[in-house]
Amino acid sequence: MKIAVLSGKGGTGKTLVSVNLASVIANSVYLDCDVEEPNGRLFFKPEHPIEEDVNVLIPIVDQERCDGCRACVEFCRFNALAIIKGKVKVYEEICHSCGGCTLVCPQGAIREIPKSIGRIERGVSHGVDVRTGILNVGNESGVPIIKKLLESVDDDQRNVIIDCPPGSSCVVMESIKSADVCVLVAEPTIFGAHNLAMVYELACVFEKPVFAVLNKTLAGENPSKTFCIEKNIEIAIDIPFDEELGRVNSNAGIIVEVDENHRELFMDLYDRIQKGVGHEAATHS
Amino acid sequence: MRILLPVNEQDLKTELSPSFGRALFYMVHETETNETTFIENMAATSPGGAGIKAAQSIVDLHADVVITPRCGENAADVLKAANIRLYQSISETALKNIEAFMNNTLAELTQINPGMHGHGG
């Protein structure tokens, strides 16, 4: 089963939930798709990870062959090409590597060359197969790295926890595409409920079963809980606000390894997801 | 000389558009004939790379000077490659900006902003 963990903004507890969930499931895979700031590895600390470069293709123009016809400039929907004084200039950071310019060039003056945009680190720690996507600073989109991370678990029969980037943009869509279930982490505030609504809407577009995890809960009203009740979203677990949890987490500790109550809480989360998704599968068949 | 300014209204007395690449129109002023025209910015609604597309159309118009409150790095790169000079606008109408330029009181635009480049998408 592939379990995507997402939230409408950063700091709600995606990594907390992902790391601890992966830790209570035997023989699991943890994928860090938050490639702009992957921090799951800070908790797992895999030793001697294996690194692999991630490249994209970008166009390079043979100015001798180019006759300045503009076919490429007009074709590019992202405006990654400009023609100045008869010479084509490529803006690599705008390019989406579609290869279209190469195809439309009547002179065959454009070819594609690989450009490194980041890397994937793999290592095993605490019995978890940890795979981290890392986007190089200054690069625009982590989508190709996320694609590669997910491809690496395509035929994997183990449980895969996908730690998503925050928000609901392209990188999040890419991260949840192949997931069997989405776990939405939300804070107990009006802002938290708004962010929950964003990712809930996204998960609905992708027709994924959803579960909510209410994090940092306190006594009193919880707008995120109200939203879940309104939308009939199953609240898998509540993680009450807890200073000790905060302390362990901010020291890059894994709470389920040091606290039995939290271990039980995350085991409960896994059980509920399994039962819920199993039920979903049964009703669909 | 052909001077170009980003604007959101087709009016000589309008203030300049705060965005260069996504301005709705460009005001084009010919210093030789003292004629002013407005052209639509086809890049205004572009999903991405608006600055490059807008700058390309300005290069194609053979502008000599651009007066703007701000300019992103990619647009500036295209304009500079075509030897188009960039000047910092003042908080006045488009017409007053042209007058200021003609009186040599405008400074060259030195602060180039990093673009949005996919953020918010």
How far is A252 from A244, CA to CA, in rounded Å? 13
8 Å CB contact between A4 and A183: yes
Query: How many Cβ atoms are within 10 Å of B102's Cβ, its own excluded?
Result: 13
Q: From the list B47, B117, B121, which residue is nearest A93 (CB)?
A: B117
- Which residue among B50, B56, B117 places its CB closest to the CB of A82? B56
Give the domain ranges of chain B.
2-102
Per-residue pLDDT tens over the stretch A24-73? 999 999 999 999 999 999 999 999 999 999 999 999 999 999 999 999 99
**Residue to substitute from A81, A84, A95, A139, interface B, most B β-carbons within 10 A:** A84
Mean pLDDT rounded to a whole number for chain A: 94
For A82, the closest of B47, B52, B118 (CB atoms) is B52
Phi, psi of B91 (to 5 degrees): -75, 65
Q: How far apart are CA A236 and CA A271, in angstroms?
A: 9
**Interface contact flag, A84 B46, Cβ < 8 Å:** no
With contact defined as beta carbons under 8 Å apart, do B53 and B38 qualify?
A: no
The reply to whether B107 touches chain A by the CB within 8 Å rule is: no
Of B56, B81, B117, the CB nearest to A94: B117
Which residues, other chains included, contact A214 with Cβ-Cβ below 8 Å and sequence gap of 6+? A186, A188, A222, A224, A225, A228, A235, A237, A238, A239
The answer to whether residue A85 neighbours chain B at the CB level (below 8 Å) is yes
CB contact under 8 A, A79 and B118: no
**CA–CA–CA angle A176, A181, A184 (5° rounding):** 80
CA distance linking residue A239 with residue B51, whole number of Å: 46
CA A117 – CA A137 distance, rounded (Å): 9
Superfamily of domain B2-102: Dinitrogenase iron-molybdenum cofactor biosynthesis domain (3.30.420.130)
Query: Which of A79, A82, A141 faces B46 most closely, judged by CB atoms?
Result: A79
CA–CA separation, A213 vs A203, rounded Å? 15
Using CA atoms, how far apart are residues B108 and B85, in angstroms rounded to an integer? Answer: 8
CB contact under 8 A, A85 and B74: no
Minimal-distance CA residue of chain A relative to B58 = A84
Which of A79, A85, A140 is facing B52, going by the closest CB pair? A79
Residue whose tokens read 């953020």: B119
Q: Which residue in B has a C-alpha nearest to residue A75's C-alpha?
A: B53
HEC string of A78-133 equals: CCCEEEECCEEEECCCCCCCCCHHHHHCCCCCEEEEEEEEEEEEEEEECCEEEEEE
Q: Longest Cα pair distance anywhere in chain A, in angstroms?
A: 71
Q: Residue A260 above 60 pLDDT?
A: yes
Summarised one tens digit per residue, pLDDT across range A193-217 is 999 999 999 999 999 999 999 999 9
> B57 with B66: CB under 8 angstroms?
no
CB contact under 8 A, B49 and A140: no
Asked if B81 and A89 come within 8 Å (Cβ–Cβ), the reply is yes
Quote the crossing angle between the two packed helices B73-81 and B50-60, to the nearest 10°. 20
Q: Which two tokens stand for residue A122?
A: 């793999």
Domains, chain A, ordered by start: 2-54+117-284 (3.40.50.300), 63-108 (3.30.70.20)
Q: Is A23 exposed, middle or buried (0-12, 13-18, 19+ CB in 10 A)?
A: buried
d(CA B63, CA B5): 10
3-state SS class at A72: helix
**How far is residue A183's CA from residue A18's CA, in Å, rounded to a whole number?**
9
> B107 to chain A nearest CA, in Å?
25
pLDDT class of A242 with cuts at 50, 70, 90: very high
B55 touches chain A (CB under 8 A): yes
> Are the C-beta atoms of B6 and B41 separated by less than 8 Å?
yes
Q: A137 — contact with chain B (CB < 8 Å)?
A: no
pLDDT tens digits, one per residue of A114-141: 999 999 999 999 899 999 999 999 887 8
Q: Is the pTM of this model over 0.95?
A: no
Contact A272, A211 (CB under 8 A): yes
Partner-chain contact B78 A84, CB within 8 Å: yes
Convert the pLDDT of each residue in A78-104 to its tens digit. 999 999 988 999 998 889 899 999 999
Q: What is the dihedral of CA A149, A155, A159, A162, to 10 degrees?
A: 20
> Do A91 and B55 make contact, defined as CB atoms within 8 angstroms?
no
- The 8 Å CB, 24+ separation contacts for A99-102 are A99/A57, A99/A59, A100/A75, A100/A76, A101/A59, A101/A72, A101/A75, A101/A76, A102/A59
Q: Which residues of A touch B117 (CB under 8 A)?
A: 93-94, 140
Chain A hits for B46, CB-CB cut-off 8 Å, are 79
Print pLDDT tens along chain B (121 aa): 999 999 999 999 999 999 999 999 999 999 999 999 999 999 998 888 899 999 999 999 999 999 999 999 999 999 999 999 999 999 999 999 999 999 999 999 988 877 655 443 3
The verdict on a CB contact (< 8 Å) between B56 and A94 is no
